[in-house]
Amino acid sequence: MSKFTTCKYCHASVPFLELREQDFDVVTRAISAGSKTSAISEVEHFMRCSESEAKAWVGHLLNCIYAFPTSEADKKILDIVDRSFSHFTKPEHFTNYTHCDECQEHDNTFLKRTRETVRREDLGNVGWDPVTFTNAEGIAYLFPTLARYALIPGLWSTHDWYASQLLTHLSGGDHNNRFFAWCGSQQREAVFSLLNHLAATRMTEIENYLDGQELADALSTWKS
Cβ nearer to Zn ion, comparing 73 with 100: 100
58 sits near Zn ion (criterion: CB under 5 A)? no
128 sits near Zn ion (criterion: CB under 5 A)? no
8 A C-beta contact, residue 109 and residue 151: no
Strand runs (DSSP E) across the chain, as ranges?
4-6, 13-15
30 sits near Zn ion (criterion: CB under 5 A)? no
Cβ nearer to Zn ion, comparing 17 with 103: 103
Cβ nearer to Zn ion, comparing 16 with 174: 16
E strand or H helix at 75: helix 72-85
β-pair partners for 5: 14
CB of 108 to Zn ion, least distance (A): 13
Would you give the binding string for Zn ion spanning residues 71-110, x where CB under 5 A is met?
Answer: ----------------------------xx--x-------
CB of 12 to Zn ion, least distance (A): 5
209 sits near Zn ion (criterion: CB under 5 A)? no
E strand or H helix at 29: helix 21-32
Cβ nearer to Zn ion, comparing 114 with 201: 114
b/e burial code for range 151-183 (CB count within 10 A of at least 16 → b): bbebbbeebebbbbbbbbbbbeeeeebebbeeb
SS (H, E, C) 172-187: CCHHHCHHHHHCCHHH
CA Rg value for the chain: 18
195 sits near Zn ion (criterion: CB under 5 A)? no
CB of 101 to Zn ion, least distance (A): 8
Cβ nearer to Zn ion, comparing 95 with 165: 95
The footprint of Zn ion (CB under 5 A) covers 7, 9-10, 64, 99-100, 103
